[in-house]
Structure 1
Amino acid sequence: MKLGSHVSAVRSSRVLVGNEVSPAVVLIKDGKIRQILSSCDFTEDAGCEVLDVGDSVVMPGIVDCHVHVNEPGRTSWEGFCTATRAAAAGGVTTIVDMPLNSIPPTTTLRNFHDKLKEATGKCFVDVAFWGGVVPGNQHELHPMIKAGVAGFKCFLIHSGVDEFPHVSDFDLHTAMRQLQGTGSVLLFHAEIDVHPTAEEIGDPCKYSTFLQSRPDIMELEAIRTVTELCLQYRVRCHIVHLSSAKPLKLIQEARRAGAPLTVETTHHYLSLCAENIPAGATQFKCCPPIRDSNNQEKLWSALKDGQIDMVVSDHSPCTPDLKKLDSGDFTQAWGGISSLQFGLPLFWSSASKRGFQLADVVRLLSRKTAQLSSLDNKKGILVPGFDADLVIWDPEREFEIEETSIFHKNKLTPYLGVTLRGVVRATILSGRLIFRDGSFCPEPLGKHLLIGPRAESSPSVKHENKL
């Protein structure tokens, strides 16, 4: 079957439908799932393009709702073509682009239109877009909602780029009033500045020096602010890239009080730990920081208990020079980790050892991320009428991450040389084969996903205890 061709049916002995894995055939028509049949009920029609994948697992495509594409403006860091090819190679069929670090940032309607124009004709997977909340742009929020952004992101601390300033309390209250009744969501980079301590003074090449400069209390106090806002305004709120387990109690208390609050963590917080980061290895730097293994196990427990809703990449690449590998100075290096292509095997390699099942992978990497992005009417689950976005992969097979197999624009990643479980064999987008065994469809087939009108009231937030 040629790359780019329409697939009429996908057959496997392991198709994940709901929470069950069984032999089945996924029938596809006009880019949508038409029907899912048990293998014994399927009769092949003449001319039907059936992709038989043997015992490879067939699941909904991954929805990664935290990706920094950086185009326009910082296309040397990443771009829509390279980011979405990497996504396709990793079984990711939808990404949601963050409003920074592009220049201009997606903080006005005009800038959003510039972003859409720049992305046109370059996307190998479907792309939705976050807007941004910055000081003084409150009158841009409603126009951007009408234009189709999935929601908004703000920073409670310096964002790392001057063109996306962090918000004050006044800005937050102003934005929350604008968002009331829209059904939209406000995402928070939840760290706030705290007074530096003497312990922060140390060797800048040691990871411990950087870690001490971003203590847990920065997240804890920021999340306290978020929960208070969420309860006051009853606007959907979401905490991005939770690194510390300490605020989890605060989050649970707010939810019990009725806060429509969700939270994500990332592959690097679940896969990497501070004790194993060598001196000068600035490819491991991100904000908030990677913390110790004890904290990591608490994050895994919170995932099992349903306290953390989803797992994302927070793919935040840069050019190699910005990582300051020559000096190994963690205090000066850009903070961001590239992992868009490897999210599924990164998660499965650790999760499978902790009793997680394939249904949990879909819940945490596809369904919940689609819900956050208001895409849960078309993405994240295999049911008739939904987009025929599929990842076909072998969970038992192992592979080593090599530079030649990385499709991100810049190949610098802390996962180089790491052996993972879970090989993506093929990716199908809207019923068309876009990636198979290392090769891509020659033309980008991804669409822009503009979010339609939402309910006037904020939807309730359901949290599931699945294990």
Structure 2
Amino acid sequence: MQLDAIQARRVLVDGVFVPATVTLEHGTITRIGPYDEAPEGMILRPADSAYVVPGIVDTHVHINEPGRTTWEGFHSATEAAALGGATTLIDMPLNSIPPTTTVQHLRLKQQAATGQLMVDTGFWGGAVPRNVADLEPLWDAGVFGFKCFLADSGVAEFPPLDPAQFTAALTEIARFGGLMIVHAEDARVLADAPSAPTRSYRDFVLSRPDEAETAAIRQVLDGARATGARVHILHLSSARALDLIAAAKAEGLPVTVETCPHYLSFSAETIPDAAPQFKCCPPIRDGGNREALWQALREGIIDCIVSDHSPATAEEKFRGDGDLQLAWGGVSGLQVGFSVLAQEARRRAIALADLSRWMSRNTADLVGLARKGRIEVGADADFAVYDTNAEFRIEATRLAHRNPISAYDGIRYGGRVTRSVVRGNAIDVERVDHTFGRQLERP
């Protein structure tokens, strides 16, 4: 359904919820007027209990197609996004086969996505050993930046960079003004940590200690300082790194940081043993650490929140019969992340406008999508409607994710996304059956 206007009691405009009529033409916002206007055409009028926010811009999603489409694919991932209020995704360069490390591989990815997208979708490139010469061609082909690992990625086709390779890649990316995004865990610290087979979540956390993150983040910040490259720290889980990051920002280093809903919602002490749906790397840490991450968001030390949706088949996720060292690491939360965090934010007296900024505008700004993540004239008509009266209980088997495994399974939340709009196209959250999405390239 192509909309001509949205008329709602609570529309997020310039950081404040106001009654407004938002007029749309050809998928673009053309006017924001008073609520009592009488627009013509197809009008969406949410319930008075609903909040209209910019569509979520999720810049960290593993879609896995081509190559591992039994784990996830463009159709299922973008449907889950649409159902959860995410109207823009940026796909990670792994765990697809081949990974997005050359222009040829990017074209294969784009071909696989054609005709399958429910929401707008772009692509990260990858920085791996021996592909420095591929980085600028990938940038020119429209990727939004380059992901690298400083420790084993978990898949053989996407190996990590050693310190010399990392510096070489950063130097090249700085030369053409690109962005390096880093899975910041240190290989040497991980190698020295205890990693015996275990069903104990506490033991698993000990195998991925805070120092693995802090050591890697020091390396990333030193690299930014030496080369001038823009760097972005992915899925920060350890609050022990916050002082390092705050000091780097005060110094003026070009660094940004993200965290994820699972780090802001769960705590290690409440996670049961032998429950691999909670396993991710870096791990979910204790409750005090969780609250420190929330405080860092308030203070601007952490810039944004993304899903790091990283699904796998039941065979991979439950490999080892509860041995957390063998199970695939990744939390599936693409469809529910905003609704989950809206409740978590309320519990902490954090405004929904702030949560929207962290999950929409700041992520859009990270990748240079100036028409996304905001409700203003000239922006894309992307919206999520969140209704505090629409309570729901998450059931993994009813999520659009290809594999019905989720750490959020069985939890009840007081509010959910009831409608998404992608460039003026209203999506019925009960039945997503249109491929409105476009493939995005870096502006």
Amino acid in structure 2 at the alignment position of 1:16: L
Q: What is aligned with 1:357?
A: 351
Query: Could you give the per-residue CA deviations for residues 116-159 of structure 1, whole angstroms, max 9, x where no partner exists?
Result: 00000000000010000000101111111111000010000000
Q: What is aligned with 1:448?
A: 439
Given that 2:189 and 2:211 are in contact with CA atoms closer than 8 Å, whether structure 1 keeps it comes out as no
Equivalent residues, number: 442
Match runs of 1:9-408 below 5 Å: 9-40=5-36, 42-45=37-40, 48-55=41-48, 56-194=50-188, 200=194, 204-324=198-318, 327-375=321-369, 377-408=370-401
Alpha-carbon separation, structure 2, partners of 1:298 and 1:392: 29
Query: Could you give the per-residue CA deviations for residues 414-467 of structure 1, whole angstroms, max 9, x where no partner exists?
Result: 11101123211111111111233x121x22110001112xxxxxxxxxxxxxxx
Alpha-carbon separation, structure 1, partners of 2:176 and 2:192: 45
Given that 2:320 and 2:326 are in contact with CA atoms closer than 8 Å, whether structure 1 keeps it comes out as no
Alpha-carbon separation, structure 1, partners of 2:158 and 2:320: 28
Give the 3-state SS of the residue equivalent to 1:106 in structure 2.
coil
Alpha-carbon spacing, 1:250–1:402, altered in 2? closer, same or farther (3 Å): same
Alpha-carbon spacing, 1:196–1:361, altered in 2? closer, same or farther (3 Å): closer
Over the matched positions of the two proteins, sequence identity in percent amounts to 45
Alpha-carbon separation, structure 2, partners of 1:260 and 1:363: 20
Given that 2:267 and 2:287 are in contact with CA atoms closer than 8 Å, whether structure 1 keeps it comes out as yes
Give the 3-state SS of the residue equivalent to 2:380 in structure 1.
coil
Tell me by how many angstroms 1:324 deviates. Answer: 2.0
Alpha-carbon spacing, 1:157–1:9, altered in 2? closer, same or farther (3 Å): same
Amino acid in structure 2 at the alignment position of 1:402: E
Alpha-carbon separation, structure 2, partners of 1:103 and 1:435: 32
Deviates more, 1:351-360 or 1:133-142: 351-360
Establish whether residue 423 from structure 1 lines up as the match of residue 416 from structure 2: yes
Alpha-carbon separation, structure 1, partners of 2:58 and 2:190: 34
State TM-score, norm by structure 1: 0.92
Given that 1:203 and 1:209 are in contact with CA atoms closer than 8 Å, whether structure 2 keeps it comes out as no
Tell me by how many angstroms 1:50 deviates. Answer: 1.2
Structure 1's unaligned 5+ residue stretches are 453-467
Deviates more, 1:156-165 or 1:271-280: 271-280
Alpha-carbon separation, structure 1, partners of 2:335 and 2:189: 37
Deviates more, 1:252-261 or 1:103-112: 252-261
Name the Cα RMSD after superposition.
1.5
Given that 2:195 and 2:204 are in contact with CA atoms closer than 8 Å, whether structure 1 keeps it comes out as no
Given that 1:105 and 1:164 are in contact with CA atoms closer than 8 Å, whether structure 2 keeps it comes out as yes
Tell me by how many angstroms 1:326 deviates. Answer: 6.8
Tell me by how many angstroms 1:404 deviates. Answer: 4.0
Query: Could you give the per-residue CA deviations for residues 256-297 of structure 1, whole angstroms, max 9, x where no partner exists?
Result: 111010000000111111111112111111000111111111
Deviates more, 1:192-201 or 1:406-415: 192-201
Given that 1:61 and 1:94 are in contact with CA atoms closer than 8 Å, whether structure 2 keeps it comes out as yes
Tell me by how many angstroms 1:325 deviates. Answer: 6.3
Alpha-carbon separation, structure 2, partners of 1:432 and 1:151: 28
Q: What is aligned with 1:461?
A: none
Q: Which of 439, 442, 446 is equivalent to 2:431?
A: 439
Given that 2:195 and 2:325 are in contact with CA atoms closer than 8 Å, whether structure 1 keeps it comes out as no
